[in-house]
Amino acid sequence: MSEKLRGNILVTGANRGIGLELVRQLAQSIGENAHIYACCREIEGPRAQALKNLSTPGKITLVKLDLSDEGSISSAVQAVSRNMEAGGLNLLINNAAINRPESPAPLSATGKQHMMDVYETNVVGPFLLVKMLLPLLQKAAEMDSEGDQMSCSRSAIVNISTLISSIEKCPESFHIAQMYPYRTSKAALNMLTRCHAEEFKRHNILVTAVHPGWVRTEMGGEKAPLTPEDSVAGMLSVMLSLSNKHSGMLLDWQGNTIPW
């Protein structure tokens, strides 16, 4: 990447999979004054070790965040606000998510608790996080004198969604992976993306949903064709290209539009 994302960037689910790779590539590519807030459920112990092993002195702050716990979200936002002092938040990447029960998650194996747990982490968590971070996103947008131009360097929310959230494309993917809780949660995240894009337009905050491709992680499984490296390189390049016309859309890691 020759262009750089800048300012303060917050990534959820940063200790493994796509989130870890996002932090790794961002740390290598962001400008000198940029800073990454890498959020994970456990910032001590083995689950955070890969994140701690990234050799990026001064560029990353680890933040404890459990998206299924409102108190944890509030504490994380307070910690981030204190750390940023006068600055705002330029880019929030809502990456963390769960998929329950195990894939393909047919109807017969899916119960109320799966639906509730997945909705809580994948939708309610990002909803509350955005609500609490809004003053910091607004501050970043106001600190920039770009008129009404929106971008991921100014102030933006990128929600990591999925191709299988697409209602139009459901007939193509349903029989391979039913995943009722996951699909419906991501469709709700898409609507959240659209609502936030409408509401935050007046603040010049861009809001876009991005599908990372089918990626080899714990969630994606070993058969997935894409590496986290390629997926994240693609998504970061898409993020750099986002402007007003992309707010409220669902794009894939190569910048193609996915129908809702």
Please identify, using beta-carbon distances, which residue of 155 and 165 lies nearer to ligand NDP: 165
DSSP 108: G
Asked whether position 190 contacts ligand NDP by CB under 6 A, the answer is no
Binder of ligand NDP out of 89, 206, 219, 238 (CB under 6 A):
219
Out of 5, 9, 11, 18, name the contact with ligand NDP by CB under 6 A. Answer: 18
Is residue 98 close enough to count as binding ligand NDP by CB under 6 A?
yes
Other CB atoms within 10 A of residue 78 CB: 11
238-140-189 Cα angle (round to 5): 50
Rank residues 7 and 181 by Cβ distance to ligand NDP and give the closer one: 181
Cα distance between residue 84 and residue 230, in whole Å: 31
214 near ligand NDP (CB under 6 A)? yes
User: At its nearest, how many Å lie between ligand NDP and the CB of residue 184?
Assistant: 13
Residue nearest to ligand NDP (CB): 17
* Interface with ligand NDP, residue 13, by CB under 6 A: yes
Q: Order of strands, edge to edge, in the sheet holding 250-252?
A: 60-64, 35-40, 8-11, 91-94, 156-160, 206-211, 250-252
3-state secondary structure of 257: strand
Query: Residue 145 contacts by C-beta under 8 Å, 6 or more apart in sequence?
Result: none
DSSP labels, 11-52: ESSTTSHHHHHHHHHHHHHS-TT-EEEEEES-SSSGGGHHHH
User: How many CA atoms lie less than 13 Å away from 104 in the CB half-sphere?
Assistant: 9
Q: Is 250 helix (H, G, I), strand (E, B) or coil?
A: strand
Q: Which is nearer to ligand NDP, 115 or 143 (CB)?
A: 115
Stretch that binds ligand NDP, among 146-154, 196-204, 213-221, 244-252 (CB under 6 A): 213-221
Interaction between residue 66 and ligand NDP (CB under 6 A): yes
Interface mask toward ligand NDP for 141-160; x: CB under 6 A: -------------------x
Q: Any contact of residue 247 with ligand NDP (CB under 6 A)?
A: no
Is residue 88 near ligand NDP by the rule CB under 6 A?
no
- The residues binding ligand NDP (CB under 6 A) are 12-13, 15-19, 40-41, 47, 65-68, 95-98, 121, 160, 162, 211-212, 214-215, 217-220, 224
